[in-house]
Amino acid sequence: MQPNRTVTETEFKQRQQSVTLEGIVEESVKVNYTDVGSGPPIVLLHGIPTWSYLYQAVIPQLEEEYRVIVPDLLGYGYSDQRDRFDRSLHVQAKMVIKLMEHLELEQVHLAAHDIGGGVGLILALEEPDRINKLVLSNTVAYDSWPIEEMLMVGHPSWKNKSLQDMKDFLSKGYNEVFAEREQLTDTFLEGITAPYLHEEGKVSLVRNAAALNTNHTTALTPKLSDIQHSVLLLWGTQDPWQPVETGEMLEKDLPNSELVRINHSAHWVPQEAPDMLAAEIKRFI
């Protein structure tokens, strides 16, 4: 398999737009997002420790048929990184709704990865009319998270680590948990880590990790059967962090769901298997 052409961080960031939103936390916050293409709107949500750049190889495959909106979650990427607000799943869900209101979107399809999937489950339960179809990729659910590495980074002492320490930690996470090695290009690794390799970004990632709370998904567990949306579960089966068994549990608990296993991918499905991810999204929608 030949690697897809990797967009640089600079190229990706140049296409982003920025908006100041209110009503999410106590003060107004900046949200950066990509908004390209035309057609039925689909929102893509990333996880930790990434940003919307995770979808750099997926967006071009969707934008010819869909209006593709890809925000940086609060505290992530080039959205607000100030050390003065909550970054929990419920706050991120509010951000998605406020961004939809800003863009005058009543309903969207939603595709989400990692903690973005936890946000997607919250939205499906709390704002069901806002979500059409739901795609979850190697998502957090039940008590599958936070993983040990994120618990470590979330300790306040990590704000005192050097930028080199943070770079080494992030690089290790990609190098060790990437099944499709040819897709882990130097350009992608530089782009996906860039927002966290300065002082404010480093501290922001520590706060993002500190906000991870398994109670936010265990509270959803008895309600999963209430989700009536059509749900596609796309799972990289070589993922040691969010194993495919979690996807199998979700397939049983979500009444209108189907599980598609991606056997050649580990955790980073949008970069490891972008062609299959985009194709499955198109088929499902």
Tens of pLDDT along 238-248?
999 999 999 99
Output the pLDDT for position 180. 86
Helix intervals (H) in the chain: 9-14, 59-62, 89-102, 115-126, 148-153, 163-176, 186-193, 199-210, 215-218, 244-253, 269-272, 274-284
Torsion of CA 264, 270, 272, 273, to 10 degrees: 50
Task: Work out the average pLDDT over 73-100.
Answer: 98
Output the pLDDT for position 5. 77
For the chain, the domains span 9-284
In the predicted structure, residue 4 carries a pLDDT above the cut 80: no
The pLDDT tens digits for 227-240 are 999 999 999 999 99
Contact 51, 116 (CB under 8 A): no
Query: Rounded to an integer, what distance in angstroms lies between the CA atom of residue 49 and that of residue 255?
Result: 30
Query: Rounded to an integer, what distance in angstroms lies between the CA atom of residue 129 and that of residue 106?
Result: 8
The pLDDT tens digits for 134-163 are 999 999 999 999 999 999 999 999 999 999
Biggest alpha carbon distance in the chain?
48
- Residue 258, both tokens: 């189907």
What fold characterizes domain 9-284? Rossmann fold (3.40.50)
Query: Rounded to an integer, what distance in angstroms lies between the CA atom of residue 255 and that of residue 233?
Result: 12
Output the pLDDT for position 72. 98
